[in-house]
Amino acid sequence: MTKKNFEITVDRKLCKACGICVAFCPVSVFSRDHDDKAVVTCPAKCTGCRQCELLCPDYCVRVEEIVHE
Amino acid sequence: MDAIHRKYLRMDKLPHIWCPGCGNGIIMGSFIRAIDRLGYDQDSVAAVSGIGCSGRITGYMDFNTLHTTHGRALAFATGLKMAKPGLKVFVFMGDGDATAIGGNHLIHACRRNIDMTAIIFNNHIYGMTGGQYSPTTPRDAYATTAPYGTMDPHFDIAKLCVGAGASYVARGTSYHAKMLTDLIVEGAEHKGFSVIEIITHCPVNFGRRNELETPVDMLLWQKDHALRMAKAAKMTDDELKDRFVIGRIHRADIPEYVEEYDRLIEMVRKGDTDRG
Ligand SMILES: Cc1ncc(C[n+]2csc(CCOP(=O)(O)OP(=O)(O)O)c2C)c(N)n1
Ligand code: SF4
Ligand code: SF4
Ligand code: SF4
């Protein structure tokens, strides 16, 4: 079985820089930029657990599976 | 934002006013996922709230919504349910809203066992007004009105509601967001008065004063202190100190208020009022 790939996006306009997604992603997909907002730095590591989506209080993280034809 | 947010939230009201990392946003996410799973039509749902940061939730969700007065959400909700029993009623309250000014309404709603789901955001503090202690502030915790630590022992909301007669009581957290959705679904499907106490976090007015500086610290605290029922059952009182149980705590099958009321009306109409 090949590893699933995910596209993760952060809506920077809505992000309040709380750090929750950064801290609770089990595989450290996110880091923080100069404003402490979340940025996606290692998307390849994503397992699709969706913890970031569930815990973002401002609903700015989206995780979508990349489907290869 | 996902399709689910666009469906159930009033997009023109976002971003919400809650502080960075506040648990209220996580809870609102868990709630709309519960409604989605329950398959309720939005027009059949009524969301009623009191006053407080938590009470703002009704402004953001696209249901029949009623933002009432401090401590009185259950009274409004009771009237609503009696007048329109077909509505699925959810009542949102803070710990101060539900157990201080609204404590009397809470115990009597429990006792009546009216079919609705009360969702109590227990962040252990008055968030909106700047961090005064509430009936659930843990003993010795700091608050603006307790600069040397709170003296009063705190209420255990779940226990209080079981004692007052609620027929479904559960406790979740803002950290266990998936479990919270499951508990809301179970509470909503239960016929009678359901209480979901949510241990949540107010980083600004509780955390900062109590050595939990960030929203992340507060969520980690929940993760470390919450215990599932099965695990707690195997632990000693000493090991359970400072921990709290999550999951379904109580469920009973007892007569529901609106049905009992209808039965009474029917009886009186038939002239069949002799109880002897
Ligand atoms: C009758 C009345 N008394 C007092 C207030 C002031 N007040 C507004 S919110 C609040 C308490 C908020 O704490 P809580 O209910 O725990 O909700 P939170 O803000 O933490 O979600 C108080 C005392 C009010 N609005 N109305
Ligand atoms: S889905 Fe899971 S693994 Fe992927 S970014 Fe979110 S938290 Fe990390
Ligand atoms: S959890 Fe949401 S608001 Fe918080 S840093 Fe991540 S994207 Fe931003
Ligand atoms: S004051 Fe506390 S409860 Fe209110 S929005 Fe801010 S963090 Fe949330």
- Digit-by-digit pLDDT tens for chain B (276 residues) are 899 999 999 999 999 999 999 999 999 999 999 999 999 999 999 999 999 999 999 999 999 999 999 999 999 999 999 999 999 999 999 999 999 999 999 999 999 999 999 999 999 999 999 999 999 999 999 999 999 999 999 999 999 999 999 999 999 999 999 999 999 999 999 999 999 999 999 999 999 999 999 999 999 999 999 999 999 999 999 999 989 999 999 999 999 999 999 999 999 999 987 765
The CB of B203 under 6 Å from ligand 1? The reply is no
- Going from the N-terminus, what domains does chain A have, and what CATH number goes with each? 5-66 (3.30.70.20)
The CB of A38 under 6 Å from ligand 3? The reply is yes
Nearest CB partner across the interface for B216, out of A19, A56, A58: A19
> Is B274 within the bounds of a domain?
no
> Is B276 within the bounds of a domain?
no
Domain holding B72, by residue range, is 3-269
Cis ω on the peptide bond leading into residue B153 (within 30° of 0)? no
Q: Which residues of A touch B216 (CB under 8 A)?
A: 18-20, 23-24
> Is B205 within the bounds of a domain?
yes
pLDDT in tens, A22-33: 999 999 999 999
Nearest-atom number in ligand 1 for the CA of B100 is 15
Nearest Cα neighbor of B169 from B257, B94, B83, B229 is B229
At B250, is the secondary structure helix, strand, or coil? strand
pLDDT at A1: 57
> Is B169 within the bounds of a domain?
yes
Establish how many alpha carbons lie within 13 A of residue A23's alpha carbon, considering only the half-sphere containing its beta carbon.
Answer: 16
Protein residue whose Cα sits closest to atom 4 of ligand 2: A46
Nearest Cα neighbor of B122 from B111, B109, B138, B108 is B138
- Domain count for chain B, please give it: 1
> Is B275 within the bounds of a domain?
no
> Is B134 within the bounds of a domain?
yes
pLDDT at B273: 77
User: Using a 6 Å CB cutoff, which residues line ligand 4?
Assistant: B 18-19, 22, 24, 53, 123, 127-128, 202-205
Q: Is the pLDDT at A5 greater than 70, yes or no?
A: yes
pLDDT more than 90, % of chain A: 90
Burial class for B210, CB neighbours closer than 10 Å (0-12, 13-18, 19+): buried
Residue of B nearest to A61 (CA): B1
Q: How many A from CA of B224 to the centre of ligand 1?
A: 29
CATH number of B176's domain: 3.40.50.970
pLDDT at B206: 98
Distance CA B59, CA B47 (A): 10
Protein residue whose Cα sits closest to atom 7 of ligand 2: A25
CB A56 within 8 A of CB A40: no
> Is B213 within the bounds of a domain?
yes
Give the Å distances, CA to CA, from B242 to A9, B163, B174, B224, B225: 38, 21, 18, 10, 7
